[in-house]
Amino acid sequence: MGIFEKMSKQGHEQLVFAYDRSTNLRTVVAIHNTTLGPALGGTRMMAYPTEDDAIDDVLRLSRGMTYKAAASGVNYGGGKAVIWGDPGHDKSEGLWRAYGQFVQALGGRFITGTDMGTYPQDFVLAAQESDYLVGLPEEYGGSGDTSILTAVGVFEGIRACLQHVYGKDSVQGRTVAVQGVGKVGARLARDLHEHGAIVYVCDVDETRVAALAEEMPVRVVSPEEIYSVPCDVFSPCSVGGVLNDRTIPLLQARIVAGSANNQLQEERHGEMLHARGILYAPDYIINAGGMIQVAEEWGGYVKEEAERQTRLIYQRLLELFALAEREGVSPNRAADLMVEHRLRTIHAIHKTMIPRA
């Protein structure tokens, strides 16, 4: 499938490439939908196997950001950027300043901050060249680390799922299998442990697991074993596409609720979970804490308000699960219908009303 065909199939507006020879910056920005406002989404840095892998990832991620923004009630569109490189070895001041110039050249059509493989200090460098960055450290006028509120939102989402399935939202005594203990997964594991949950963890980076195991009594399993752990909640907090034909039959959980983007390899895998009686918290709703934070930051940041909006994920999921039951559909399908209705409504308004000056 060619690039334009992929964009057409997923509804993208724009795909922008940039290369800087002096720093070896190789980056792609995907702008999916700007019906609600300028595209807002993080910048991910990964050593992708191929160019096609980088393109496919940024297309999937940017679409997810449109749905995340619409479901969260913020007035931003969906976008995402990827930098093709090894985050452990390829970063430099020059690379980040070149990236900042690229973002600046988009003229505010794309607003970005941290994601997997990138950190607030990276964007301190990029901010020397761009006005369209969020999630900077507080000492630089930003709102700080977005992984904190993302983890808060996932914790609240897990509580909502437990309430729906068991009639009680406490994690005390519940078993949760956390797949991936990076920025968000490690924070989530700590919160779960502090509130009395039994926590299993895995990560492809063994040093992360070892560090967490020294800090608290988590139960460490291999990345392959994590799917088969008997648990109340399976919590994907790493890469996307982990819920698929191979892994779903292995799950021994009643609930899937985690921070990873694009957890379903294909939309039909949400139906597979539903058919198995596994409650799925749509990823773009439960992991929206970081999006809510940076959306608040761009409009004038109030920390308490960002946290209040993030904790509403609990109620938002309960309402979604009730809607799905009334309509007789899976939660992921109900979420998509809700988002698509909002996008159609606002698009129609913009077509018929006089635009604001």
User: Which residues are known to be catalytic?
Assistant: 80
Give the residue among 92, 78, 11 at the shortest CA–CA distance from 40. 78
Q: How far apart are CA 259 and CA 242, in angstroms?
A: 12
Q: In what order do the strands lie in the sheet with 255-256?
A: 219-220, 198-202, 175-179, 233-236, 255-256, 279-280
Please tell me the total number of residues recorded for the chain in this structure: 357
Residue 277: count of CB within 10 angstroms of its CB: 8
Neighbour count for residue 69 (Cβ, 10 Å)? 31
275: how many CB neighbours lie within 10 A of its CB?
Answer: 10
Please enumerate in sequence order all residues whose Cβ is within 8 A of that of 291, keeping only pairs 6 or more positions apart, or say none. 40, 65, 68, 69, 72, 74, 76
Q: Where are the alpha helices (DSSP H) in the chain?
A: 3-10, 51-72, 93-105, 120-126, 146-166, 183-194, 206-215, 268-275, 283-286, 289-300, 303-311, 313-327, 331-352
Q: 234: closest CA among 278, 279, 177, 188?
A: 177
Alpha carbon distance 344, 164 (integer Å): 30
DSSP symbols for 105-158: HTTTSEEB-B-TT--HHHHHHHTTT-S-B----GGGTS---HHHHHHHHHHHHH
* Core vs surface per residue 120-144: b (16+ CB within 10 A) or e: bebbbbbbebbebbbbbeeeeebbb
